[in-house]
Amino acid sequence: MAEPFAVQVTVRGYETDALGHLNQSVYLQYAEHARWSILQAAGVSPSELLAKGVGPVVLETTIRYLRELRAGDEVQVTCAFEWGEGKTFRIAQTILRTDGTVSAEVASVGGLMDLRERRLVADPQGYFRALAREPELFGL
């Protein structure tokens, strides 16, 4: 199995809380950054999605915090799509320190929303497959 897509991030001091730990909300920002980065790497731009009248939405997110992060820590944020049947898909993400220690696991349920109808599209895989120059990054 291929390695999941990943982006590098350095924890910045202003992202930490009063205890010196990465603020809990920033984990969501790192996960979001990785999701937009995989779209870009696959060749899917936000303007293309808008031109098609669709946009990605997050329907549910669960975060498991396992090890603290502090300012200056270098981390890798992975992103792997998991496809099933229907209108939704799952995205599994891991935030890892450079030594391989897992800091957090992020599990999301997403979909593609038809921006005119305000409903999820029936075949999100088809949209990603058609738009992507590198659909294999999405596991397609």
pLDDT per residue as tens digits for the range 46-101: 999 999 999 999 999 999 999 999 999 999 999 999 999 999 999 999 999 999 99
According to DSSP, the β-strands at 54-65 and 102-114 are antiparallel
What confidence score (pLDDT) does residue 38 get?
A: 97
Alpha-carbon dihedral of residues 31, 32, 33, 35, nearest 10 degrees? 90
The sign of the dihedral angle between the CA atoms of 22, 89, 50, 43 is positive
Counting Cβ atoms within 10 Å, is residue 63 exposed (0-12), middle (13-18) or buried (19+)?
middle
